[in-house]
Amino acid sequence: MDMQTITARAGNPNMENYEETYKKFNWDDVKENFSWSKTGLVNIAYEAIDKHAENPDKKNQAALIYTAPGREEKLTFEDLKRTSNQFANVLKDHDVEKGDRVFLFMPRSPEFYAAFLGILKVGAIAGPLFEAFMEQAVRDRLEDSEASMLITTPELLERVPVSELPDLEKIVLVGGDGSQHISFEKEMEKASEDFEIEWVDLEDGMLLHYTSGSTGKPKGVYHVHNAMIQHYQTGKWVLDLKEDDIYWCTADPGWVTGTSYGIFAPWLNGVTNVIRGGRFSPDDWYGTIAEHNISVWYSAPTAFRKLLSAGEEVPKKHDLSSLRHVLSVGEPLNPEVISWGLKAFNLRIHDTWWMTETGAMLICNYPAMDMRPGSMGKPFPGIEAAIVDNEGNELPANQMGNLAIKEGWPSMMRAIWKNPGKFESYFINGWYVSGDSAYQDEEGYFWFQGRLDDVINTSGERVGPFEVESKLIEHEAVAEAGVIGKPDPERGEIIKAFVTLREGYTESDELLEDIRQFVKKGLSAHAAPREIEIKDSIPKTRSGKIMRRLLKSWELGLPTGDTSTLEE
Ligand code: WT7
């Protein structure tokens, strides 16, 4: 156990005495920060944008600073109120109603944010899809959600099997020539800038994020407006946001970090939000911090590791003195990366732990708390976390087990879309069981140990092995496939596939590359196996389940453990 600590720095005064705040904290007290606590009128988009746009002191503050190769734009809270109102009117004109699923499949852009907020303003449920998804991934998500409308671009539309999606009634194209489908630009031009927000219930749906499990298709994690309570408060105490901060979250809104902390937390706190489009490059990323005077920066270990390996000279070329607070999420934050952060920025990098299903941060390091590098930190006030056994009994300190959270925090998912059985399976004895293993030390710090299921975490993205295996066996040469995550210093894990070949095919570098490309084109680049190994057979249980655990033990040269269920 690494007991080295890095002492606390300045932070929100409320978190200077963590134990005391934890003891007296009550989520009900957070509610008074929202207009609905007085008016009874609920909508997360109102609290994030319109409330500030109606405030003379805030309306002209930049809400969104968009920066991408070839495009720079600044939108105030008032601008965003206007554009999202316009899009809400477009949706109304096209008969979108409360509860309908409206999906977005497009890169980050000012249009994306206007559309996203517009969807919330009509009370519909937004489904943001990562732009790198290929046809199968897009189809699975649109099919399962029964989305009635999709907002996309002409290039990405090519990956949408429109004719095979009976529920998909309408397509809005951003940047098209206006000749086919609904033109975003034409509709926006004629849409009114005034809109009467659809007031909803705190328990009404607002967001569907698809995420991977170890078996079956990706599942739709369903979030409701009530999540704003936790977005707001974690924004204040974990991101340590103050009204004059310039904040940058590097995640795409196709993943939950890009909505909870790329949209809601900063705007609910009235903070200027920088959105960067385009690809990752160390120079551009450091340049973004310097050019926009970023003060609070939320990113991921995989990005930090890339910056680290780009060398110590690159950051020296940029003035990074605006940075005050740096945070990380998505996979374990290596102590080595924290040491690098201290050198590169003279700042601690604060790890935060949570999941798509949890909707917001749960276990974190706080600016005003001593940090133990390698630990995820301590539960946010109002969050009860524990290590439990498989029956849901709490385990003592230093014992490894299931990382679990007492059911009922504000941003908890409310359903798995159309799959109540799956939803139920997360809960044991009043605990939400995360699927991560961890232990808690005597001082209350939590330490991540690994995923318990077969889900792969590559560059901070969860990939279900089943989805990749299904795509692999669609390739004409592949008979069977088993997919695992293989530890990798930069990406956390890489995807490794074991495949058997069909009759008449022989191993060659061309064939392996062809299989790789097939998954990349069919599913997505991040789901394509970096390594493929041909085998004579894939180990399976007698009930036919692929034994990925065994594949992994072989790959890592570990003891194979219990193989009693192995087929001949
Ligand atoms: C899984 C959730 C929540 C946004 C990003 C990922 C892993 C997440 C940490 C951390 C170690 C972490 C867990 C978790 N994970 N944060 N700080 N340390 N592992 O969301 O795609 O739903 O993945 O990511 O395994 O269960 P997600």
Rounded CA gap, 477 and 448, in Å? 39
Rounded CA gap, 2 and 8, in Å? 17
DSSP letters, 378-440, are: EEPTT--EEEE-TTSPBPPTT--EEEEEES--TT---EETT-HHHHHTTEETTEEEEEEEEEE
Which of 281, 282, 272 has the alpha carbon at shortest distance from 248? 272
Task: Give me the pLDDT at residue 214, please.
Answer: 63
CA 213–ligand 1 middle distance (angstroms)? 13
> For atom 19 of ligand 1, which residue has the closest CA?
331
> For atom 14 of ligand 1, which residue has the closest CA?
355
Band of the pLDDT at 144, cuts 50, 70, 90? very high
For a mutational test of ligand 1's pocket, the pick from 350, 351, 355, i.e. the residue with the most ligand atoms closer than 8 A to its C-beta, is 355
Which of 341, 289, 345, 410 has the alpha carbon at shortest distance from 29? 410
Task: Give me the pLDDT at residue 1, please.
Answer: 35
Report the nearest atom of ligand 1 relative to the CA of 328. Answer: 17
Q: What are phi and psi of 194, to 5 degrees?
A: -105, 140
Task: Give me the pLDDT at residue 2, please.
Answer: 43
Rounded CA gap, 55 and 410, in Å? 27
Name the percent of the chain lying above pLDDT 90: 79
Q: Encode 298-318: b = buried (16+ Cβ within 10 Å), e = exposed.
A: bbbbbbbbbbbeeeeeebeeb
Report the nearest atom of ligand 1 relative to the CA of 351. Answer: 17
Rounded CA gap, 520 and 529, in Å? 8
For a mutational test of ligand 1's pocket, the pick from 222, 448, 454, i.e. the residue with the most ligand atoms closer than 8 A to its C-beta, is 448
Task: Give me the pLDDT at residue 65, please.
Answer: 98
Range with lowest mean pLDDT among 193-197, 486-490, 546-550: 546-550
pTM: 0.90
Rounded CA gap, 292 and 245, in Å? 11
CA 257–ligand 1 middle distance (angstroms)? 10
One-letter amino acid at 249 equals C
Range with lowest mean pLDDT among 22-31, 39-48, 439-448, 459-468: 459-468
Pairing mode of beta strands 349-353, 363-364: antiparallel
Q: What are phi and psi of 530, to 5 degrees?
A: -80, -25
The alpha carbon torsion through 189, 190, 193, 196 (nearest 10 deg) reads -140
For residue 140, the tally of other CB atoms under 10 A from its CB is 18
> Tens of pLDDT along 437-490?
999 999 999 999 877 888 899 988 888 888 898 899 889 999 889 999 999 988
For a mutational test of ligand 1's pocket, the pick from 328, 436, 458, 524, i.e. the residue with the most ligand atoms closer than 8 A to its C-beta, is 436
> For atom 3 of ligand 1, which residue has the closest CA?
355
**Residue 48 carries which DSSP code?**
I
> CB under 6 Å to ligand 1: residues?
211, 256-257, 329-332, 351-356, 376, 434-436, 448, 451, 457, 462
Cα 69-73-76 angle, rounded to 5 deg: 155
Report the nearest atom of ligand 1 relative to the CA of 361. Answer: 3
Q: What ipTM was reported for this prediction?
A: 0.99
CA 189–ligand 1 middle distance (angstroms)? 41
